Amino acid sequence: MTIETKAPNALLGFDFGTKSIGVATGQMITATAQPLSAIKANDGIPNWETVEHVIKEWKPDLIIVGLPLNMDGTEQPITQRAKKFGNRLSGRFGVKIAFQDERLTTASAKEFIFERGGFKALEKGKVDSVSAALILESWMESYYQ
């Protein structure tokens, strides 16, 4: 007997940070993601009402949280905080969570934004949300491999 698992369709991505948490939405049909507004955080703690509003608005089947790792793949102090954030999302809102390696997404996001708007376009919240979109797209690519 084969158990079929339904692929998630609606996704939310979070790029965890201690001052700002980037947010993006994505969907599996086209395997694309769009940055949303970043959520301000105080030492990694967001306004949970804002997070709840985003989750209720987008109704994700799955939330992807970026996992900050060192270039050699080892964990760093913020890795555990990102995991804790993901676990809190799951516990508070009853949503499924997956983690995705986010190495180099911030650098890629800055390059992406700079190419389109120059140095003045490199706002922190925008970088974090584009990073969240890149994390989502990376997860979707690995899902189909």
pLDDT tens track for 95-121: 999 999 887 565 565 565 556 555 454
Q: Can you give the pLDDT at residue 70? A: 83
Q: Are strands 39-42 and 32-35 parallel, antiparallel or unpaired?
A: unpaired
66 with 135: CB under 8 angstroms?
Answer: yes
Mean pLDDT of 50-73: 93
Helix (H, G, I), strand (E, B) or coil at 144: coil
Q: Could you tell me the domains of the chain?
A: 10-143 (3.30.420.140)
State how far the alpha carbon of 68 is from the alpha carbons of 13, 27, 32, 106, in Å: 14, 23, 21, 10
Beta bridge partners of 75: 69
Task: State the pTM of this model.
Answer: 0.82
Mean pLDDT of 86-102: 95
Instruction: Name the E strands within the chain.
Output: 10-15, 20-27, 32-35, 39-42, 45-46, 62-67, 97-101
Q: Can you give the pLDDT at residue 110? A: 55
Alpha-carbon radius of gyration of the chain? 15
Contacts of 56 (CB under 8 A, 6+ apart): none
